[in-house]
């Protein structure tokens, strides 16, 4: 009978969160993505990574469910699985995981089950960095969105994104460093890297992965499901339809179809009221099965207050790319008495196309012969059709 060597790497998978922001009936890690739970997907990346003891920390009463998921994912590594009950906070749950590690473990990776699609390569990069002398390591992605510091609904200052990075998990540590940091911690920290840094240790970075996004909201869940949607043998294009309406009455100048219209009355809205850009966003998200504009850019996203078309379309393009899609083309029709589109149609199409990575965008404009709110000059409506193709 072969005996699995005791590994010197331990992975703590934190799966004890309630997931209240997800709005699900079950603890977050036990919400289904396709035919499996979020935890089961997270464990796939863990067991495809470096050989390690795997300690899964779950809410009380879910230990059996976690063990079932773990044994299915583990394959021939079933004897490396340990399941423990979590605490009242994430930090307490990680502490419970640390207490369950075997004595020979020297490198500890702490991973959030909510980052369910994290590839095995990220685990390997983090573990290798710690094994090669880095005492504390976390995977990061560059920040691509324009970042603003806000005060309420007002922009207070711009933030230099070149010095920012988005932290992910697994975060890796020399075991003695993490054990000591937990013993001396005097408050809760947002992640283990912050806790270790507070204990006086330098934290280093390695490359993260776009698939390691955290599933926190219903929009994140839709995004993960879209990534996992099985493709047909011959991938087929998909079509989406979007519409948006905004009334005149905002402050400043008019922004429509991605360009500014000096001297024209502005549209009201959470952002700049650009009905054309917003209809395009809805059409693209609908085609990809990624929800709608309210899901990703609603009033609970203050960073998009006052934002223009390029911010919305660039982010939408990234969401599609992460789900395996790219834009084929987009067609939009605008209904409004003003502004007059014909003189600037080419400029608007070029601006929208540039924001979508060069995908062709056509814009047509019409009036309603005085009928309805657009005909009376109260606002603008836009209708978009988008074609997306597998990326």
Annotated binding residues, written as ranges, equal 244-246, 270-271, 278, 292-294, 366-369, 373
Structure token pair of residue 144: 């691509």
Residue 207's beta-bridge partner residues?
140
Q: What is the DSSP string of 272-310?
A: S--HHHHHHHHHHHHHHT---HHHHHSTT-GGGTT--HH
Q: Residues forming the annotated binding site for a divalent metal cation?
A: 244, 246, 278
Tokens 């995977």 sit on residue: 139
Q: Which of 363, 45, 358 is nearest to 211 (CA)?
A: 45
Neighbouring C-beta atoms of residue 375, cutoff 10 Å: 14
d(CA 140, CA 206) in angstroms, rounded, equals: 6
d(CA 27, CA 35) in angstroms, rounded, equals: 17
Q: Is 133 exposed, middle or buried (0-12, 13-18, 19+ CB in 10 A)?
A: exposed
d(CA 291, CA 217) in angstroms, rounded, equals: 12
Neighbouring C-beta atoms of residue 204, cutoff 10 Å: 17
Neighbouring C-beta atoms of residue 249, cutoff 10 Å: 13
């Amino acid at each position: 009978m072969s005996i699995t060597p005791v590994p010197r790497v331990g992975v703590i998978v934190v799966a004890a969160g309630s997931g209240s922001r997800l709005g699900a009936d079950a603890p977050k890690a036990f919400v289904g993505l396709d035919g499996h739970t979020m935890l089961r997907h997270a464990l796939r990346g863990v067991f495809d990574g470096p050989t390690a003891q795997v300690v899964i920390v779950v809410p009380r009463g879910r230990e059996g469910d976690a063990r079932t998921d773990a044994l299915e994912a583990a394959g021939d590594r079933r004897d490396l699985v340990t399941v423990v009950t979590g605490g009242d906070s994430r930090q307490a749950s990680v502490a419970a995981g640390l207490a369950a590690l075997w004595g020979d473990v020297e490198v500890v990776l702490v991973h959030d089950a909510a980052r369910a699609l994290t590839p095995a390569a990220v685990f390997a990069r983090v573990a290798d960095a710690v094994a090669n002398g880095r005492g504390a390591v976390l995977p990061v992605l560059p920040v691509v969105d324009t970042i603003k510091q806000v005060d309420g609904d007002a922009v207070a200052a711009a933030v230099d994104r070149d010095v920012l990075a988005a932290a992910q998990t697994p975060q890796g540590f020399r075991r003695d460093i993490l054990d000591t940091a937990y013993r001396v911690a005097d408050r809760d920290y947002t992640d283990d890297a912050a806790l270790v840094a507070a204990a006086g240790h330098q934290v280093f970075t390695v490359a993260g992965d776009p698939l390691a996004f955290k599933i926190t909201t219903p929009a994140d869940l839709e995004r993960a499901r879209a990534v996992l949607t099985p493709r047909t043998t011959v991938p087929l294009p998909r079509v989406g339809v979007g519409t948006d309406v905004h009334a005149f009455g905002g402050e400043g100048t008019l922004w429509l179809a991605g360009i500014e219209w000096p001297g024209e009355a502005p549209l009201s809205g959470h952002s700049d009221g650009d009905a054309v850009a917003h209809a395009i966003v809805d059409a693209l998200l609908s085609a990809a099965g990624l929800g709608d504009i309210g899901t990703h850019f609603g009033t609970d996203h203050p960073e998009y207050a006052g934002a223009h078309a390029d911010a919305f379309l660039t982010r939408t393009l990234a969401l599609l790319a992460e789900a395996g899609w790219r834009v084929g083309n987009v067609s939009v029709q605008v209904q409004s008495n003003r502004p007059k589109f014909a003189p600037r149609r080419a400029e608007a199409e070029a601006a929208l196309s540039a924001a979508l990575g060069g995908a062709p965008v056509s814009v047509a404009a019409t009036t309603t012969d005085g009928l309805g709110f657009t005909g009376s000059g109260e606002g603008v409506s836009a209708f978009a059709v988008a074609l997306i193709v597998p990326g």
